[in-house]
Structure 1
Amino acid sequence: MPKGAGKVIAQNKKAHHDYFIEETYEAGIVLQGTEIKSIRAGRVNLKDAFAKIQKGEVFLHNMHISPYEQGNRYNHDPLRTRKLLLHRKEINKLIGETKEKGYSLVPLKLYIKDGYAKVLIGLAKGKKKYDKREDLKKKAAQREIEKAFKERQRG
């Protein structure tokens, strides 16, 4: 995460399991009135979210922000498409990268930085089933090593 980043509100843990993350970018989000209040309350889900480039702009789809309880008629659609704010150079680079086969944009974290909601998006390449199995084996082996090391220290 970039230095100086504030409070992490939501993480997409499944992203690292399903994708190889090549690069990350920090982007601002265009929000409506009550959305930031819901985000600050931690009522966000990034699980099925993805970013897409349309007409030279980056949009975040399927990020669920629950309606704010005190929002009454000013509340928003929880699954609406939200625009991401990136520099033109970054967008142009992402356009080139996502045209390559197998690359997509996946949100990794949502956090508050200097009072603004930011999303960390990753340029991701999908993992095959055998890659996922390999990762699980590595994690299990690492856990075993740590467990044996702890037992050794005690004895």
Structure 2
Amino acid sequence: MAKKTQQHDRPLATNNKARYNYAIGETFEAGMALTGTEIKSIRAGKVNIGDGFVQVRHGEAFLDNVHISPFEQGNQFNHDPLRSRRLLLHKREIRLLAQASEEAGKTIVPLRIYLKHGFAKVLIGIATGKNKYDKRQTIKQRDQERDMRRALRRL
């Protein structure tokens, strides 16, 4: 019998803009409370987390401004694409996120969405905004790494 290939941790959506604009500190893996048509759209890869952020309200964490496209065969049961989605985290993790978001210059951003054992997970990170010179440094490091890989490939 053929062995099944596991495809968990395969990113369905990544937020490359977050790694460029922010210095990412601590990261957390969170589940999402989704409706049936939302998970079908996520599995199809129709999700955009570029402008997303996390807010802590009334002791619960919510993922806001993440666009999950309506499911094509969803008809009347389709969801609102930009609705707030509750994140499933432990209380101590929510407390840590709340403390971090209250600090000046810190925000909580989604980094990627992926499937793990059939469940949709979101990797969120506590981020601090970068200055313009920090962004230039990031570009310089990325170019240097690319040049090193090219040189190693030629050998």
Report the residue type matching 2:106 in the other structure.
Answer: Y
Q: Per-residue displacement from partner, 1:73-125 (whole Å, max 9, x unpaired)?
A: 00011111111110001111111122111111100110111221110000111
Q: Which moved more, 1:13-22 or 1:140-149?
A: 140-149
Letter in 2 for 1:105: I
Answering whether residue 15 of structure 2 is matched by residue 16 of structure 1, we say no
Which residue is 1:112 aligned to?
Answer: 115
Which residue type is aligned with residue 49 of structure 1?
Answer: G
Task: Please list every run of 5 or more consecutive structure 1 residues that lacks an aligned counterpart in the other structure.
Answer: none
Matched, 1:131 2:131: no
What number of residue pairs does the alignment pair up? 149
TM-score (norm 2): 0.90
Q: What SS does structure 2 have at the residue aligned with 1:101?
A: coil
Aligned counterpart for 1:40 among listed residues 32, 36, 43? 43
- List aligned pairs for 1:26-37, cutoff 5 A: 26-37=29-40
Give the CA deviation at 1:147: 2.8
TM-score (norm 1): 0.90
Equivalent residue of 2:73, what SS? helix
2:9 counterpart SS class: coil
TM-aligned CA deviation for residue 37 of structure 1: 0.6
Letter aligned with residue 66 of structure 1: S
Shift of 1:22: 0.4
Alpha-carbon deviations, 1:22-58, whole Å to 9, x = none? 0110111111121111111111011111111111111
Alignment gaps of 5+ in structure 2: 1-6
Share of identical aligned residues, percent? 52
Residue number in structure 1 paired with 2:125: 122
Give the equivalent residue in structure 1 for 2:146.
143
Closer, same or farther: CA 134–80 of 1 in aligned 2, 3 Å? same
C-alpha displacement of 1:145? 2.9
Match of 1:98 in 2: 101
Tell me the equivalent position of 1:73. Answer: 76
Partner of 1:83: 86
